[in-house]
Copies of this chain bind each other. A is one copy, B any other.
Amino acid sequence: MKYDLAKPLTRGARRTLGDFTDTLLQLAAEKSFDQISVNELCQRADYPRATFYNYFDDKYDLLDYCWLHISQEFQFLPAPADGKENSDLLMYFDRLFAALKQKLPTFSTIMKFNPVDGTLVNSFISFFRGKLRVVVSSCQILQTPDLPPELAAEHVANSILLLIEWVFLKNHVVSQEQLHQYLFQLLGIVKIPDESI
């Protein structure tokens, strides 16, 4: 990232960043990410190439920023779980899925041109793995004494990602209760009845 996101964004910068992410997501709904060129992107967004390179290192950099941009629309992310219970993780899980559900039409169009093991999806998964690592490692699912904490955290993050992939990238329709069942099954946790409220 060339541009410093730490300092407050000017009106113009916010506009430019938004335009580029919108254009990329729009193009990704028409063709594979790999065959999108920076030239095409700038032409479509109606910016000169130099402006693009003022903000981003390359198109992969922009892709990363896209996920950040999207995840910032999910207001809950700036306030992640400082709770330490399993139920907190489950709440986070539910909110994440609810937020992603709004983007489902976008995703399913993009998936028509971008394979699950392609560049775009890898980048998506990789971004959310990072997010999840942070949230999960602050939780106390690590009650597994015989597993290194990092390994356990990574495993929980992987399990959640697997379900995100299943629902949002592979377009399976699953009820919320069923998702919880799946998650507990994956984590090796004894199934908890839903009337735990």
Binding site for B on A (CB under 8 A): 117, 122, 126, 144, 146-148, 151, 154-155, 158-159, 162, 166, 172, 181-182, 185-189
Q: A151–B162 contact, CB under 8 A? A: yes
C-alpha gap A144/B185 in the complex (Å): 8
**Chain B residues whose CB sits within 8 angstroms of the CB of A172 once the complex forms:** 148
What 8 A-B pairs are tightest by C-beta distance, nearest first? A188-B188, A158-B158, A147-B185, A117-B126, A155-B186, A122-B122, A146-B181, A154-B162
C-alpha gap A189/B188 in the complex (Å): 8
**Chain B residues whose CB sits within 8 angstroms of the CB of A159 once the complex forms:** 155, 158
C-alpha gap A122/B154 in the complex (Å): 16
C-alpha gap A185/B147 in the complex (Å): 8
* Partner among B147, B162, B166 whose Cβ is within 8 Å of the Cβ of A182: B147
**Chain B residues whose CB sits within 8 angstroms of the CB of A166 once the complex forms:** 151
**Chain B residues whose CB sits within 8 angstroms of the CB of A158 once the complex forms:** 158-159, 162
What's the minimum C-beta distance from A170 to chain B, rounded to whole angstroms?
9
**Residue of B at shortest CB range from A127?**
B117
